[in-house]
Amino acid sequence: MRLLNKVALVTGSSSGIGRAIALRYAREGAKVACADITPTARSPVPNELDITTHDAISQEGGQAFFLQTDVGDASQMENAVLKTAQQFGRLDIMVNNAGVSLESRTPARIHETTNELYDTTMRINTRSVFLGSKYAITQMLKQDPHPSGDRGWIINLSSILGIVAATENPSYCASKGAVSNLTRQVALDYARDRIHANAICPGYTRTAIYEETTEYMHAAADLIRRHPFNGPGLPDDIARVAVVLASEDASWMTGAVVPVDGGYTARFSFASIGTLVAVTTAALLRPSICNQTALSFPVTMRLDGVAPPPDAVEPKSQREKDEDVEDLKAIDNAPEVDAFGDEANAEVKYKTLKWWQCGMFMIAESVSLGVLSLPATMTALGLVPSLILIIGLGILALYTGYVIGQFRERHPYIHNLADAGEILMGSFGRELFGLGQILFSIFIMGSHIVTFTVMMNTITDHGTCSIVFSIVAFVICLVLSLPRTIKNLTYISTASFLSIFSAVMITMIGVGVQYKGGQNISITTETNLYTAFSGVTQIMFAYCAHVAFFGLIAEMEEPKDFPKALCLLQGFEISLYVTAAIVIYYYVGNGVDSPALGSAGPVLKKVAYGMAIPTIIGAGVVNGHVGLKYIYVRIFRKSGRMHKNDWVSVGSWIGIGVTCWVIAWIIGEGIPSFSNLVSLISSLFASWFSFGLPGAYWLHMNYGQWWSSPRKCALTIINMLIFAIGGAMCGLGLYASGKAIHDDSSRSSFSCANNA
C-alpha cells in the first residue's frame, strides 16, 4: 500500500474523478476526508447514486467521513482542513479536484460571457485551489513531517485547457490556466519545506457528465474516432496518476503539470518545455501513465487544432458542423447560475428590489381576507390554544423563512422551488417541486377570483350574474399582472397592505360598537379532530408566503438584506393576526362569522368589503406573479430574452399570464366546492413549502455535521421535528379538507347564483 496511514482531503469527492481518487487512495491505505457540496452524486451513473463515496470506502474496510463544503467559501475550506486534522490527527495530501465547466452549456466568446458566469467559474475552479492549498499548507507546516521526510503533497486538478486554449471557453480556460501556473508557483515557494505541488491535466474521461451526453452520440463517436486510444478514459485512470503523485514514487517531482489525456494533445504541433518535461518524467516514473485518458470537463469542449490530420478523417459538411454546434449548446450538465445573470447593460433589470419593497410584497402575498377567518378558529379551538398556534406557527414561519434565506445564500443560482427540489432530489425533485409551485399559485389565483365575486355580490346585493363579476376579476388581475419585475408591483403591494389593514380596523371597530364583549367566549373547548384541524389549517394557510421567497431573494438588490424583509413580514403578520383574532372574538364570541366581516353588520360589512378590494385583487396578482415568473424563467433562463423589451419577450409574458389566469378562472368557476379544494391543495403543498421543506434544507446544508457539537445536535433535532410537523400538517390537512369536499355538494359549476 503506497499511501498507508497517510491522511487525504479530496474536494469534489461525490462523483467522477474526485470519487475515483478518494476510493483509490483508500485502497492504497490512506484515510480520506470526502469534501463536496452534497454527499451524493447528481448524476445518472448507478454506482455513484447507489452509495456515497465515504460509505463505499467504509464498506471496503477503509476510514472516511464526509464534509459538506462549498469550496469557494474560505471559512468552509478552512473548516474542512481543521476537521480532517481533528478527525485523523494530521493532513498529508490535499487534492483540489472540485470544478465546473459552465460554458459547456452556453459556449460564448469573451464579449458574450456574463460576469456572473466568469466569477462563478473562477470561484469554484481557481479560488478553491488557492483556498485549499493555503489552508492545507498551513496545517502541513504546523505538524510533524511524514516519516518519509516530506511534509505534504498538494495535487491540483487542472485540465488540458490549462495547457492549451479552446474556442468559446474564456472562463474555463482562464481558470484552469491559473490552476496550472499557481501549482508551479506553490511548488517553488514550498520546495524547501518538502511540500510537493503538482497538477494533473485530464483530457476526456467517462464521467457522469460524459455519460449524460449519450443522446448526442455522433459527437461522442467523432471524439472516439479521432482519439489515439479510442477514448474516452475512465476516472480511475486519473486516480492512479494521483496515487503516484501522492506517493514516494514521485519523491523527485514538484511543479509538474502533467497532461493525462491518452495522447489527445499529442496532435498539437507545439508543446511547452514544461509540458514535455512533465510528460517525460511521468512516463519514466510509471510507464502505464502514458496510457491514461481523462476528462475534467464535458464532451462539449472543443479544442482548436486538436484533430487528426486532414487525411485521417473525412471533412464534415456544413450541416454536420451546424448539428454539432446545436448539440453542444443543448447539453445541460453544469450547475445553474444566477437566473438573471449580469444586468449591467440589460433593458429590463430584475435585481432592483429594496428590502422594504420585498417585505411589502410578502405582506401583500400572505395577508389578505384570511386574517378575518382567524376569529372563527377560536370558536373551534378556544382562545388560548388558538393564540398559542398563531404565535407559535408565526415564530416557526420566521425561522423556516430564515433557513430558506440561508439555503439560497448557499446556492445562489436558486430562483424557485424547482431549483431547490433539484438540489434535494435531482431532476425528479425539480419537476415535482416545480409542478407543486405552479399548481399552488394557480389555485390561489382562482380563489381570489372567487373571493372577488363574493365581495361584489355582497356590495351590490347580487346585482348581476356571479360569472360576470368573475370575468371582471379575471380582466383586472390580468392587466395588473403585466409588469414583469417585482419592483413594478410595489404600488399594488402597498395598496394591498393599506387595504387589509383598513378592512381589519373597520371590522374591529364595527364589532366593538355592536357587541358588549366577553359574553360568549371559550378559553378552551372540546372538539373533534376534523373541526380542530380545520381551524389549524386556517392558521397554517395564514403563513404560506414562503413559496415566493426564492424568487424574491433573486430579485433583491442586496440579497443579504432578506432577513430584514422577513422580519417586517412576520412582525406585521403576528401582530395583526393576534390583535384581530383577540379583539373580534372577544366582542362577538362563538357566533363570529368566517370571514368576520359578516359580524360587523350589513352596512359596515359592505364598507369593509369595499376597503378590501385592493387586497382581494392585489393578493391574487402578487401570488399569480410568482407562478408566472417561474414559467417565464424556466423557459428563457440564460437566453437573455428576459432582459429584452421586444415582442417575443413581452408577448411571451402576456401569453403566459393569459393562459394561467384563464386556467385559474376556469377551475375557480368550474369546480364545485372550490374553496375546499384550495384547502386540499394548500394542505398538500403549503404545509411543505412553508414548514416541512425548510427543515430538509437545513439538514441538507449541514449533512455530515448533524452531531458535531451540542448546538448542531439541538438544531438537527429541531429541524427534524420541523420536517415532521410539515408532514403532519400535510396528512391531517388532507384529511380535513377531503372530508369537507365530501360533505359539501351545495355549489354547482359556472353558476350565476349569489355566492355571498
The DSSP code for 161 is G
Burial of 257 (0-12, 13-18, 19+ CB in 10 A): buried
Helical (H) or strand (E) element with 199: strand 195-202
Half-sphere CA count of 673, side-chain side, radius 13 A: 15
Cell readout for 521 is 367566549
- From start to end of 2-137, where are the E strands? 7-11, 31-36, 64-68, 93-96
Question: Whose grid coordinates read 474536494?
Answer: 11
Catalytic member of 25, 118, 135, 172: 172
Are 548 and 626 in contact, with CB atoms under 8 Å apart?
Answer: yes
In single-letter form, the type of residue at position 673 comes to S
- In sequence order, the 6+-apart residues with CB closer than 8 A to the CB of 301 are 101, 104, 161, 166, 169, 172
DSSP sequence for 33-83: EEEESSSS-SSS-HHHHSS-HHHHHHHTT--EEEEE--TT-HHHHHHHHHH
What whole-number distance in Å separates Cα of residue 87 and Cα of residue 91? 10
Are 169 and 281 in contact, with CB atoms under 8 Å apart?
Answer: no
Cell readout for 613 is 378590494
- Least Cα distance to 372 among 585, 89, 668, 54 occurs for 585
Cα–Cα distances in Å, from 691 out to 311, 411, 539, 723? Answer: 64, 20, 13, 7
Q: Is 145 helix (H, G, I), strand (E, B) or coil?
A: coil
What does the radius of gyration of the chain's CA atoms come to, in whole angstroms?
A: 30
Q: Which residues pair with 257 in a beta bridge?
A: 199
Cell readout for 559 is 440579497
Are 54 and 34 in contact, with CB atoms under 8 Å apart?
Answer: yes
Are 486 and 633 in contact, with CB atoms under 8 Å apart?
Answer: no
- The answer to whether 172 is a known catalytic residue is yes
- Within 461-528, residue ranges assigned H as helices are 466-480, 490-514
Question: Whose grid coordinates read 355566492?
Answer: 755
Q: Active-site residue numbers?
A: 172
